[in-house]
Amino acid sequence: MDGSGSGRGFFSYALTWPSESYIESYLKVAIQSGLPPIAVIMNDPTHKEWTVLDLKLAKAYELRQSYGDIPPWIDRSDRVHFDTKSFISGSGAAIERAQAAEQKKAQTGRGNPTFGKRWYAVPVTKDGGPMPTMREWLEDQRRLNGEA
């Protein structure tokens, strides 16, 4: 949830979870094809009418596209710091090995880089409490802009 208990913003936030990243591809196919997202996710060609859930998923996808990996209400919060983690990408390693081989032709290499290493940010609240909500962030933005 977004921390407010309302469930608003859940889908767009859930799309930032690495374990759910495959859903984003399904949403992209649905949006680009003009199909309801549930039809694509569930592989159900009989699902032709757009439901409230389809609209929420489409909005979540568009939000995700506009703010990137971390929602701004978390990314810009003073209550959050970021740890880093990494994973080794097999495809990235293959590309980087080829690039390194090309570079070696041009210069003498030193050391052995870790091929395929990718860094990504993991939000962690400074006090161990819940993540900021979109509502809190918007209210803070209004206050900062003198609108409150």
Residue 36: per-residue pLDDT: 95
List the one residue out of 97, 86, 36 whose CA is nearest residue 61.
36
| Residue 45 CB coordination number (10 Å) | 9
Tokens 């880089």 appear where?
A: 113
pTM for the full predicted model: 0.50
Instruction: Look at residue 137 in the predicted model and tell me its pLDDT.
Output: 82
- Show Cβ contacts of residue 137 under 8 Å, excluding neighbours closer than 6 positions: 72, 73, 74, 76, 77
pLDDT tens-place values along the chain, 148 residues long: 334 334 456 666 677 666 666 788 899 999 999 999 999 999 999 999 999 999 989 988 888 788 777 878 888 899 999 999 888 888 888 888 888 887 787 676 566 667 787 777 788 899 999 988 888 888 888 888 887 6
Q: What is the pLDDT of residue 80?
A: 93
pLDDT given for residue 32 in this prediction: 93
Which run of H or of E encompasses 27?
helix 21-33
Q: Are 110 and 45 in contact (CB under 8 A)?
A: no
